[in-house]
Amino acid sequence: MNYSQDPDHIIAYLKIVLFFIFLSTCGLVYADTSAIPAKTVVCPQIVTDSREFFKDIGEKPSLALDPFQLLMTKNHQEELEKRLNAGFPLSRCGGPFNASLLSTAAALGLDADVQLLLDKGADTETPLSPVGESALIFALANNRYSTSRLLLNSGASAGIHYGADNGGYTALSAISRSLKDARYRPDEELDIAKILLQKGVSPSTQDRNRNAGFTALHWTIISNKPALAHLLLTQGADPDLKDAKGRSSVDMAKRLKRTEIFDEILNSR
């Protein structure tokens, strides 16, 4: 069995890391976790040595790799299932994102692994990443559309639990701020957003973010996603809500010269 490194998974991981570095330099990655329910586990805030993580994958035999490292290799499902059957704790935090195994698989879009973990009893709600992100948030933020559907169909909460009550981004913010990378599919993004709205997610809920406080509409302006902005506005998104620095969506659209979204906002009034 070939356990060589999977370049697609490694590239995906590096893109995710770069995105979070960008957000942190902008002062946008912060989570007020004070409102997280007591029963919810939050992974500790630690610095992961990515070089050592990938060095081990390249140098060690598969039996010496932990399950988080196995996810980064090809043809790993059989060995992963053996580890799970042997009692690997589904609530353990680790890997490059310092999150649960389910969240790591979701971020990488590994649907077969996500399904396996769910079948083994993985909890979609806990543990959360150090900044309060669930497996669903990881999937949404990384354009993993089929993974997002799988998690939602398996009972993952789409509501405020992952946003204002939880310290991080709302589900709608997660999908609104996703990068327009090679995986980006506007039609699929809209379909997922409609599912979230149908499940009762408010388009006007603000992220519980000390330095941001954005709504999903703010994020569509930053990401320049007019179609998604239109959907949110038709579903009642409030363009006058202000972020932590007093900027409304109208202000932001004008400042960033997002003419199409600015016009959508004016037409929605």
80 lies in a domain?
A: yes
Q: Which residues contact 11 (CB under 8 A, 6 or more apart)?
A: none
149 lies in a domain?
A: yes
Q: Where are the alpha helices (DSSP H) in 90-199?
A: 101-107, 111-119, 135-141, 145-153, 171-176, 186-198
What is the three-class DSSP state of 179? coil
The reported pLDDT for the residue numbered 6 is 60
| Better-predicted residue by pLDDT, 62 or 100 | 100
83 lies in a domain?
A: yes
Judge contact between 143 and 183, C-beta under 8 A: yes
192 lies in a domain?
A: no
Q: Tokens at residue 199, please?
A: 């499940």
58 lies in a domain?
A: yes
Distance (Å, whole) CA 252 – CA 248:
6
- Expressed as residue numbers, the domain containing 55 is 3-165
Model confidence at 17: pLDDT above 60 = no
Per the prediction, the chain carries an average pLDDT of 84
137 lies in a domain?
A: yes
How far is CA 214 from its chain centroid?
16
Residues 94-135 pLDDT 10s: 988 889 999 999 999 999 999 999 999 999 988 888 877 899
Q: How many CA atoms lie within 13 A of 110 on its CB side?
A: 28
Residues 197-248 pLDDT 10s: 999 889 998 887 655 789 999 999 999 999 999 999 999 999 999 998 899 9
Judge contact between 151 and 15, C-beta under 8 A: no
CATH number at residue 35: 1.25.40.20
Residues 69-87 pLDDT 10s: 999 998 999 999 999 999 9
Q: What are phi and psi of 128, to 5 degrees?
A: -100, 160
Distance (Å, whole) CA 62 – CA 83:
11
In the chain, how many domains are there?
Answer: 1
Model confidence at 259: pLDDT above 60 = yes
The reported pLDDT for the residue numbered 98 is 87
140 lies in a domain?
A: yes
222 lies in a domain?
A: no
Q: Tokens at residue 163, please?
A: 């946003």
